[in-house]
Structure 1
Amino acid sequence: MKNYSKWEKSNKEIDSKERKKLINFKDLANIDIGTLKNKLSKNLKKANKISTPQKKRKVIAFDMGSYMIKIVEGMYYKDELTIDKYITLKTPKDAIIDGEIKKSEELFLRLEQVMKENGIKAKYAICTNNSTLIINREILIPKVEEEELDTVVRYEIQQYLPINLEDYILQVTILDEEETNLSKKINVRVIAYPDKIARGYYNLITKLNLKPYALDVNYNAINKFINCIDRNNEYEYNPKDSVAFIDMGASFIDVNIYKNENLDFTRIIKAGGNDIDEMLVERNLVSPDEVENFKVRNIDLEEPFEPVNIYVRETIDDWIEKIEKIIQFYKNKNMGDEVSSIVIFGGSSKLKGIDEYMTTKLGIKTKRKNGISKIAFKSSDDGKSIDDFINVIGSVIRLS
């Protein structure tokens, strides 16, 4: 990348104005929320020789987790999704913390190796992740002309949050319009993505000799995944209902509620599979190297009297209590709107009996999403489940 070496210089050598001139991250980080158009500017393309992928051009997409990284190579063209390669690898220890790259060199070397081993040919790259540092808010603002929208949103969001907006990439989606006291207002969703996280992924992608195409957030990728699958297969729920998709990861549990095929609410719980791992190791039930296999072989939440299951249930009860509070908050916020069903996926969703256990505890039908056929994406099907790839597959789908 033409300006990559300059971008590595210290802040003393390149002031903030020059850095923004070199790379306009608001344009580059095409988070693609809702119907937002890709805002890659002509000046950006010219200055950095970045071009948007042409039709039928493959991409490589990365779901960057703190514990695991999922990679796919594929293409989305004319409403059809094709995924050719599915790759998982362990994230180097502490290389990514809360969505932010902390050990860029270790991460680069590992990804470079994996790409070579798997014969990755795509040159355009997408990253998706989630972080407690990403801010997601709905705000009601006066109805204004499109060119005034950004200014009004910035003013309003500053009233809600004591943050420096210069440190964030803002994306705005108009949700609906309403009339109150003879004045028209619009309800908008504002996503504020930390600039420092975006820069970390940009630098990583360019160092891998890839061309940055889009930066996505997991709840948006899931939304696109749901809608794409719904066009090809029958789902077990009515898309008009409020349905919670819960990603049960290693460090975080993402609770995302969708209604009418759009994101309606999202929250992150600072808990996950690592809690169970640490508990099992602390009780000397298993060594750290064997904890994953131990969970698969020995944990069964339908067997309540085994000591190990009692310990695990205590941890999961804490998760469920937090999930229940989020669902209740959503209900209160939406004037009694009930969550009709829950779909769980991610590493901890594989614990035997967890879906039935959550159904009993929450009183809401909970089902683990698994066994999705690759044929649904016009991809070769080797019979393996791809439920671990929901986020990264969704990120490949571009709506603009």
Structure 2
Amino acid sequence: MAFSFFSNYFLTIDIGFKLIKVLQIRKKENDAIEVVNFGIGNTPKDCIKNGAIKNKGRVIDEIKRLMQDNNITAKEAKIVMSGTNIITRIIMIDDVPEDEVGDKVMREIESFMPINIDEHSVDYKILDYVYKGGMKKRRIFVTAVKKSIISSYVDILNSLNLKPISVDTPANSIAKLFHKEIRLREMDDRIRVQRNQKFDSGTVAVLDFGSETTIVNILKNKVIEFNRVILIGSSNIDKEIFEKIITDKLKIDFAEQYKKKYGIVLKRDFNNDLEWNCSETSKVVVNEIIKNINICFDFYTARCGGEKITKILITGGGSQLPNLREYLESIFKVPCYETNSIDIPGVEFSVNLDINRINYLTNALGIAL
């Protein structure tokens, strides 16, 4: 949902279940952008449910604090919605003239998606053509969001005295990010061998590991073709460690500390049982997420006409789990990379900023483009 033209300085805001990310962006020549400042803060507890903002006042207060603490002063903003209440589907329609596609999609959509058209804002992108039963069909990627959800995010911007530029979805922010000619950054020998190949060629899965959810995005030749939300996230690891490992119930904060310290252990140290037990407990949750990711991959290839995944990019706060990348690579048998392994042409950071936190900023960066 887009609004009007905007100046060279603007904000992007990503309100997640656990963290709020606010970026100040400067638009440069040739559609390049510079991240001038950014702030990351905690989302107030119980303020977001199913993508809807339940306590706007507390969310607004935290965004104000981030803006003040990080000298973020722009007056126009783009905002990305949480993903749990966003419905996406690939549908097929008969080939019709270009000016009839919109009407055809709207007529067909209620057969494919469990929504009330009057209550939802619907967007679609034409992917390609396929032949089914000898008939030429158009494959269409459709996104539907409740109008009331969109309004709640616009209200946030209005309450901050920010002029709304757009309200966007995580899937669309990923699509915008990958519209660039992304290449691998030369960070280690494994990547150096593949340095000259374009990262975004072929079929790429972008896995966004959040606190409460894991979002699966699949792009083919830079075009998003699949998006699903798995209702398991990194906070489930905290809960599992707390229930299985920590005997002192007053030390609940230790669960997250153990997760971040030990992650997934690739080789057991028989002198450190705590490390191994935390790792095995973490793997219970990670394996459940992997099972659901595999279901998404299978659905994409079997039901959406997709092709086999050729590489994986992991992002989000949960992607910081130690050795997660290596573990995923061993399971999926395809190259797996973290967000800080890629170069995004046209995206610059001011020299004083910590770009190692880019894993947390993917959605906020994407909607800036």
TM-score bracket, normalised by the shorter chain, equals: 0.7 to 0.9
Q: 1:282 aligns with which of 237, 243, 259?
A: 243
Q: Could you report, residue by residue, the CA deviation over 1:263-310 in whole angstroms, capped at 9, with x for unpaired residues?
A: 021211110111111112223528333443332223342144611111
* Cα deviation 1:182-229 (Å, max 9, x = unaligned): 865433222111111101001111010001101111122122223335
CA displacement 1:15-67 (0-9 Å, x = unmatched): xxxxxxxxxxxxxx22xxxxxxxxx5xxxxxxxxxx4214xx21100111011
- Structure-2 separation of matches of 1:353 and 1:229: 27
Q: What is the distance in 2 between the residues matched to 1:173 and 1:105?
A: 35
SS at match of 1:228: coil
The reply to whether residue 366 of structure 1 matches residue 366 of structure 2 is no
State yes or no: 1:117 paired with 2:69: yes
Aligned partners of 2:302, 2:312: CA distance in 1, in Å? 18
> For the residues of structure 2 that align with 1:236 and 1:69, how far apart are their CA atoms?
34
Q: Compared with structure 1, are the counterparts of its residues 154 and 130 closer, same or farther at alpha carbon in structure 2 (3 Å cutoff)?
A: same
Please state how far the C-alpha of 1:363 moved relative to its aligned partner. 2.2
> What's the counterpart of residue 75 of structure 1?
26
Answer yes or no: is 1:52 the counterpart of 2:2.
Answer: no
For the residues of structure 2 that align with 1:371 and 1:260, how far apart are their CA atoms? 19
User: What secondary structure sits across from 1:247 in the alignment?
Assistant: strand
Q: Distance in 2 between matches of 1:389 and 1:359?
A: 23
Alignment partner of 1:340 out of 310, 321, 326: 310
Question: Could you tell me how far 1:70 is from its partner in structure 2?
Answer: 1.1
Matches within 5 A, 1:320-339: 320-333=290-303, 337-339=307-309
Contact 2:245–2:278 under 8 Å retained in 1: no
Secondary structure at the residue paired with 1:378? strand
More displaced, 383-392 or 102-111? Answer: 383-392
- TM-score, normalization: structure 2? 0.85
Give the C-alpha shift of residue 381 in structure 1.
3.1
2:361 corresponds to? 389
Unaligned runs of 5+ in 1: 1-28, 31-39, 41-50
SS at match of 2:180: helix
Q: Secondary structure at the match of 2:310?
A: strand
Aligned-partner residue type, residue 327 of structure 2:
Y
Match of 1:196 in 2: 148
Q: Percent identity?
A: 27
Match of 2:279 among 281, 303, 309: 309
Cα offset, 1:145, TM superposition: 4.7
2:202 to 241, 252, 266: 241
SS of structure 1 residue aligned to 2:360? helix
Aligned counterpart in structure 2 of residue 63 of structure 1, from 4, 7, 14:
14
Q: Which runs of structure 2 are paired with 1:106-145 in the superposition (5 Å)?
A: 106-145=58-97
Letter in 2 for 1:298: Y
The answer (yes or no) to whether the contact 1:301–1:354 under 8 Å persists in 2 is no
Measured in 2, the distance between the counterparts of 1:192 and 1:278 equals: 32
Alignment partner of 1:318 is 2:296: no
**1:253 maps to which residue?**
214
Q: How many residues align?
A: 348
> 3-state DSSP class of the match of 1:227?
coil
1:25-104 matched pairs, under 5 angstroms: 29-30=1-2, 40=3, 51-54=4-7, 57-77=8-28, 78-104=30-56
Tell me what 1:262 maps to.
223
Q: 1:366–1:53: structure 2 CA closer, same or farther, 3 Å change rule?
A: same
- Deviation of residue 97 (structure 1)? 1.9
Alignment partners' CA distance in 2, 1:244 and 1:316: 17
Q: Distance in 1 between matches of 2:208 and 2:9?
A: 27
Larger CA deviation: 320-329 vs 169-178: 169-178
TM-score normalised by length of structure 1? 0.79
Deviation at 1:178, TM superposition (A): 5.2
- Check whether the contact 2:39–2:67 (CA below 8 A) recurs between aligned residues: no
8 A Cα contact 1:125 1:213, kept in partner: yes
